[in-house]
Every structure is written in structure tokens, then in C-alpha cells.
Structure 1
Amino acid sequence: MRILITGANRGLGLALSQVGAERGHQILAGVRNIQQSEASLTQSEINKSISLLPLDVTDEESVTSAANTVKENFGTIDAIINNAGVLLERDKQIEDLDLDQMKVTFDVNFFGPIRVVKHFLPLLMMGDRSSIINISSEAGSISNAYAGDYAYASSKTALNMFSQQLNQYVKSKNINVYAIHPGWIKTDMGGVRAPGDPMDTAKGIFDIIEGKREIGSQNVFITYEGQPMPL
């Protein structure tokens, strides 16, 4: 399969790119800076199936250009993994929130996936078994809401709603849509205390994309192991 991954140069995005390449998929690694990403993504034999793609999810012109590049060079894609994300205002109380940082968070975590789907969905619809994976978080669960992470949690809740709406739109076209909680994993965002390995999460996500896990939930919000998450 040919799979687009945003934020592919580090953390979970890097693990997803590596696992996908190891499983024989063609990875279109969306990154903001090609030069800074070459060392991590293209320096091994297996990574020759990874193609770097200039892509800034906050810039619609960049997303449009990336979609045109993929159309001209590859024609179609089989899956989108909207992985790019930020965690800002982590320790701020509501009285101290910087609303400009809130806007940045939503621009990356919520509007970013919308921009990507908007421009890449026509390429995805050409396939016969396609997936859209939006990397969400347990912080986006309304029923398990907690005081804190206002920007991040709210953006992920919005992403979950978008995923549910998108699923209704494309389910008749044999496209699966999931908002996936990746677990607390060791990345720049998750920190060194996190118990999870991003490679394990990446393997679980590819099991879902490849149809190796049966998803029984009616909601699109699930864990990387395919278990339902509370909305």
C-alpha cells in the first residue's frame, strides 16, 4: 500500500514510517523540512521505500502542492495517517492560558488533518480498501475530562468529532476512518517517563490499516489495539 504520514520525521511519525517500510509499504513521509529529515528517514536499505514529501499541515498551499506532487508521481494513495501534532500550554491554568497558543494548537491538531483530508481524499477514493487514521488521545475523551491540557485536549475532542463525521461521509466508499489513542509513549511529547514504545503503537496501527484486527466498535475512537475508547 501507499501511505501518507504527516509529521513523519520524529516520534510516533518516525516509528510509523519505519514500521510501514519494513512491512513493504510505500511511505510518503510528510515533513516540514526535507534536509533535517533525511538522516532519520532515508539512511538505511529498508528506508528506500520512504519518499520525503514537503508538507506543512498549517499551510494550505503546502498541502495543495503536496497533493499535486503525489498525484503526478504516484497517482493514488491507500491510507492517510494524520500524525502531526503539538502539545502546548501543558502546565497552564485556565486563568493563564495564552490564547494565541491555543490557536496554534488547533491549527496543527485539528485544522491540519482537515486540510490534509480535504486535498488528499480524491487520491484516496481511487483505491478499493482505504483508511484514514487520525492520531488522537485519551485526553480528547469528554467523559474522562480532567482540568488541564486545555488546548491539547480540546483539539483532540474536536478531531474525534471530525473523524466521526468523516466516517459517515466516506463509509459507503469502502474507506475506514479511525481516531486512534496511541497510548502514553516515549516521544518528545510523551516524555521519558512514558511506559509505552512508539514502535509497538506503530505496529498496532498498521495491523488496523492492514485489516489484521477486527474492529467491533461503532464509534471511530479506538486504541491502537483496536479497543473502543470512551467518547
Structure 2
Amino acid sequence: MTKTALVTGANKGIGYEIAKKLLEEGYRVLVGARDQERGDNAVAALRAFGDAHLLLLDVADLNSINNAVGEITRNFAELSLLVNNAGIPGDMHKVGWEFTVEELQSTYEVNFIGPFALSKGLLPTLIANKGIIINISIPIEPLPYFNAFSYTTSKAPLNVMTKSWGMSFEKENIPVEIFAVMPGAVSTDLNGHMTGDFVKTTVQAAELIVDFVLDGENHNGQVINYDGTLSVY
């Protein structure tokens, strides 16, 4: 049976490269995208590497998430890999108290509520297929050189979800593995395509992430740094 994966936010950036890498590894990939035209263009390009399909999905919209879960349940019941990649940073330069509640809600909805709802909706399918959930995340400890308030506060619950669900999966003998990968600094349009010796390309980030899927190790409940070490919070 063909292995099937869903990658959210896969029409560009890290998500696109994750989808490409998975296709090269023999997966059928559902390309999650909220825009029909951009999604179609991405799928057309990705089909050079394998069996890619567009799945219209806006992780900020619960109705869109429910529709996507329904389509997968009906047409791709063999799904065994969910990559929660889609995310937004908010303003990475504003100090914390300058944000409006609405700005924080928007990042929270995309970076946590959406991945939570999608993972919850697809959990029965993933259980049936002994699947994997990967959350693409970031370090949540404020640092002098990275103190992006809305970004870190919206990703923090995603990291907690990873560890909490992983613990519960193990306790309840649920055959699903969940882990998070923090690829480090990556040049994308979210950060204005930043450059530097410490900055990865989207290709390098995707290879790092997919390698954890393919290494045969049990990463359940782990939040993994770009260098392979585990978070301690």
C-alpha cells in the first residue's frame, strides 16, 4: 500500500520542500494549501517528483479543517503521516505589550488551535495506520537574539501538546508517534529570506525534518532541536 502524508502549508517554503522530499521517498503527498491557484501551481511542480494531490486547507478555519478531515477519511484512509508545518510568526520585532489581543489570537489560531484540531480530527485514521504526527516548531525560551513574543507564545502550546500527547499515547498504548522538530533559523518569506552562516535553506530544513521520519527511531513525545538534542522544558 502506498504511504500517504499530509503536509500543511506545502505550497511554498519548508512545507513545499518537505512535500518534495517525501515524494522522492515514495510517499503520496496531500499538499495542504489555503489558496487554490497557489496550491495548483505547487502540485503541478511537485508532480515531477511523485504522486501529489491538492488538499484545500486553511488551518485558521475550523470549517476548512473539518472539510479536509472528511475528504481524507473518504478518499485517503491510508494516511499515516501528518506534518503540521503551516504557521505564521506575527510581528517578530514588537515588544510583548504592544500586541493587540486580536494579533495574538490570529497567531494562536494558526500555530496551535489549527494543528490541534487537525491532529484530533485525523487521529482515528492515524491510529488505524500506526501513523506519525510531526509538529514543526521553534524554541520557546526568550533569548536576547530571538524574542519574538507572538511567535513563541503561540508555539509554546504546540510543544506542550507534543509532549502531553506523546505521554498519553504511551500510557494508553495508542500506536501513534508524535514529535516536534525545531529546524533552527531557515531562510523563508516569514523572515524576509534572512541570510547568514547559521541560516539553513528550506531544502536543508526539509531534509533534517524528513530524516527523523525515516531513521527508524521512536521519537514519541520529543521536541527535537536542529542538532538532534532534545528540549528540556
Confirm or deny: 8 A CA contact 2:33 2:56 kept in the other structure.
yes
Are residues 18 and 44 of structure 1, via their aligned partners in 2, closer, same or farther at CA, if it must alter by over 3 Å? Answer: closer
The one of 79, 96, 99 equivalent to 1:97 is 99
Distance in structure 2 (CA, Å) of the matches to 1:206 and 1:8:
14
Are residues 94 and 201 of structure 1, via their aligned partners in 2, closer, same or farther at CA, if it must alter by over 3 Å? Answer: closer
Identity %: 27
Distance in structure 1 (CA, Å) of the matches to 2:203 and 2:232:
24
The one of 33, 36, 39 equivalent to 2:35 is 33
Q: Which has the higher mean CA deviation after the structures are superposed, 46-55 or 10-19?
A: 46-55
Confirm or deny: 8 A CA contact 1:78 1:131 kept in the other structure.
yes
Deviations, residues 114-145 of structure 1 (Å, cap 9, x unaligned)? 011111111111113x211111102x137x68
Question: What's the counterpart of residue 4 of structure 2?
Answer: 2
Question: What's the counterpart of residue 163 of structure 2?
Answer: 164
The ranges of structure 1 where at least 4 consecutive aligned residues each deviate by more than 6 angstroms after the TM superposition are none
Per the normalisation by structure 1, the TM-score is 0.89
Confirm or deny: 8 A CA contact 1:207 1:213 kept in the other structure.
no
Match status 1:210 vs 2:214 = yes
Q: CA deviation at 1:214?
A: 6.5
Deviations, residues 90-129 of structure 1 (Å, cap 9, x unaligned)? 211233222211110001001011011111111111113x
Matches within 5 A, 1:108-187: 108-128=110-130, 130-138=131-139, 140-141=140-141, 148-171=147-170, 172-187=173-188
Read off the aligned partner of 1:62 and give its amino acid letter.
Answer: S
* Alignment root-mean-square deviation, CA: 2.1
Distance in structure 1 (CA, Å) of the matches to 2:112 and 2:118:
10
Q: CA deviation at 1:182?
A: 1.4
Q: CA deviation at 1:219?
A: 5.4
Confirm or deny: 8 A CA contact 1:184 1:190 kept in the other structure.
no
Per the normalisation by structure 2, the TM-score is 0.88
Secondary structure, aligned partner of 1:104: helix
Q: Aligned residues, how many?
A: 226
Confirm or deny: 8 A CA contact 2:65 2:114 kept in the other structure.
no
Q: CA deviation at 1:45?
A: 4.5
Distance in structure 1 (CA, Å) of the matches to 2:175 and 2:94:
42
Unaligned 5+ segments in structure 2 are none
Confirm or deny: 8 A CA contact 2:167 2:221 kept in the other structure.
no
Q: Which has the higher mean CA deviation after the structures are superposed, 115-124 or 182-191?
A: 182-191
Deviations, residues 5-24 of structure 1 (Å, cap 9, x unaligned)? 11111111111111111111
Distance in structure 1 (CA, Å) of the matches to 2:66 and 2:150:
27
Read off the aligned partner of 1:226 and give its amino acid letter.
Answer: G
Confirm or deny: 8 A CA contact 1:5 1:17 kept in the other structure.
yes
Are residues 7 and 44 of structure 1, via their aligned partners in 2, closer, same or farther at CA, if it must alter by over 3 Å? Answer: closer
Distance in structure 2 (CA, Å) of the matches to 1:55 and 1:80:
13
Distance in structure 2 (CA, Å) of the matches to 1:31 and 1:211:
28
Matches within 5 A, 1:65-80: 65-80=67-82
Question: What's the counterpart of residue 24 of structure 2?
Answer: 22
Secondary structure, aligned partner of 2:77: coil
Secondary structure, aligned partner of 2:87: coil
Are residues 173 and 211 of structure 1, via their aligned partners in 2, closer, same or farther at CA, if it must alter by over 3 Å? Answer: farther
